[in-house]
Amino acid sequence: MIDLAGKHIVLGLSGGIACYKAAELCRSLIKQGATVQVVMTEAAEQFITAVTLQALSGRPVFTSQWDARTSGGVDNNMPHINLSREADAILIAPASADFMAKLLHGRADDLLSLMCLARPLDKVPLILAPAMNREMWAHPATQRNVEQLRADGTMVLDVGAGDQACGETGDGRMLEPEELQYELVRFFTPKVLAGQHVLISAGPTYEAIDPVRGITNLSSGKMGFAIARAAHEAGAHVTLVAGPVALPTPRGVGRINVKSALNMQKSLHLLAQTATVFISAAAVADWRPAVPASQKIKKDGSGQPPAMAFVENPDILAEIASGARARSGLLYCVGFAAESQDLLAQAQKKRERKGVPLLVGNIGPDTFGQDENALLLVDAQGSTDLPRADKLHLARQLVAEIARRLPA
Ligand code: CTP
Protein residue with its CA nearest to atom 8 in ligand 1: 315
Nearest to 316 by CA among 351, 276, 266: 266
The answer, yes or no, to whether residue 256 has pLDDT greater than 70, is yes
The tens digit of pLDDT for each residue in 340-398 reads 899 999 999 999 999 999 999 998 888 887 899 999 999 999 999 999 999 999 999 99
Handedness of CA 362, 363, 368, 371 (dihedral sign): negative
What secondary structure, in 3-state letters, does the chain show? CCCCCCCEEEEEECCCCCHHHHHHHHHHHHHCCCEEEEEECCCHHHCCCHHHHHHHHCCCCECCCCCCCCECCECCCCHHHHHHHCCCEEEEEEECHHHHHHHHCCCCCCHHHHHHHHCCCCCCCEEEEECCCHHHHHCHHHHHHHHHHHHCCCEECCCEEEECCCCCEEEEECCCHHHHHHHHHHHHCCCCCCCCEEEEEECECEEEEECCEEEECCCCCHHHHHHHHHHHHCCCEEEEEECCCCCCCCCCCEEEECCCHHHHHHHHHHHHCCCCEEEECCECCCEEECCCCCCCCCCCCCCCCCCCCEEECCCHHHHHHHHHHHCCCCCEEEEEEEECCCHHHHHHHHHHHHCCCEEEEEEHHHCCCCCEEEEEEEECCEEEEEEEEEHHHHHHHHHHHHHHHCCC
Nearest to 112 by CA among 142, 83, 77: 83
In Å, what is the CA distance from 217 to each residue of 15, 190, 320?
Answer: 51, 35, 21
Domain 8-188 has CATH 3.40.50.1950: yes
Instruction: Give the CA angle between residues 162, 233, 407 to the nearest 5°.
Output: 140
Phi, psi of 145 (to 5 degrees): -65, -40
353 CA closest ligand 1 atom index = 23
**How many Å apart are CA 337 and CA 358, to the nearest integer?**
11
Give the residue numbers annotated as catalytic, written as ranges. 166
337 CA closest ligand 1 atom index = 20
320 CA closest ligand 1 atom index = 7
Kindly report the average pLDDT of the chain as a whole number.
Answer: 95
Question: What local confidence, expressed as pLDDT, does residue 292 receive?
Answer: 93
Question: What local confidence, expressed as pLDDT, does residue 194 receive?
Answer: 97
**How many Å apart are CA 385 and CA 110, to the nearest integer?**
53
Burial class (CB in 10 A: 0-12, 13-18, 19+), 101: middle
**How many Å apart are CA 201 and CA 184, to the nearest integer?**
26
Q: Cβ of 342: how many Cβ atoms within 10 Å?
A: 11
Nearest to 334 by CA among 231, 194, 222, 204: 231
The answer, yes or no, to whether residue 162 has pLDDT greater than 90, is yes
Mean pLDDT of 271-280: 96
Domain 197-405 has CATH 3.50.50.60: no
pTM for the whole structure: 0.94
- 357, 333 in Cβ contact below 8 A? yes
**How many Å apart are CA 100 and CA 92, to the nearest integer?**
10
The tens digit of pLDDT for each residue in 133-156 reads 999 999 999 999 999 999 999 999
Pocket test for ligand 1, best of 241, 262, 269, 284 (most atoms within 8 A of CB): 284
Determine the distance separating the centroid of ligand 1 and the alpha carbon of 322, expressed in angstroms.
Answer: 15
Protein residue with its CA nearest to atom 6 in ligand 1: 284
Protein residue with its CA nearest to atom 27 in ligand 1: 286
The answer, yes or no, to whether residue 218 has pLDDT greater than 90, is no
Mean pLDDT of 118-145: 97
In Å, what is the CA distance from 331 to each residue of 101, 202, 272, 359?
Answer: 45, 18, 8, 15
Question: What local confidence, expressed as pLDDT, does residue 369 receive?
Answer: 78
For ligand 1, residues with CB inside 6 Å are 201, 261, 280, 282, 284, 286, 313, 315-317, 335-338, 350, 354
Question: What local confidence, expressed as pLDDT, does residue 327 receive?
Answer: 78
The tens digit of pLDDT for each residue in 18-28 reads 999 999 999 99
Question: What local confidence, expressed as pLDDT, does residue 132 receive?
Answer: 97
Question: What local confidence, expressed as pLDDT, does residue 329 receive?
Answer: 67
286 CA closest ligand 1 atom index = 8
Mean pLDDT of 2-31: 97
Burial class (CB in 10 A: 0-12, 13-18, 19+), 122: exposed
Q: Cβ of 255: how many Cβ atoms within 10 Å?
A: 17
Q: In angstroms, what is the C-alpha Rg of the chain?
A: 26
Domain range summary for the chain, segments of one domain joined by +: 8-188, 197-405
The answer, yes or no, to whether residue 326 has pLDDT greater than 90, is no
Same CATH fold assignment for domains 8-188 and 197-405: yes
The answer, yes or no, to whether residue 106 has pLDDT greater than 90, is yes
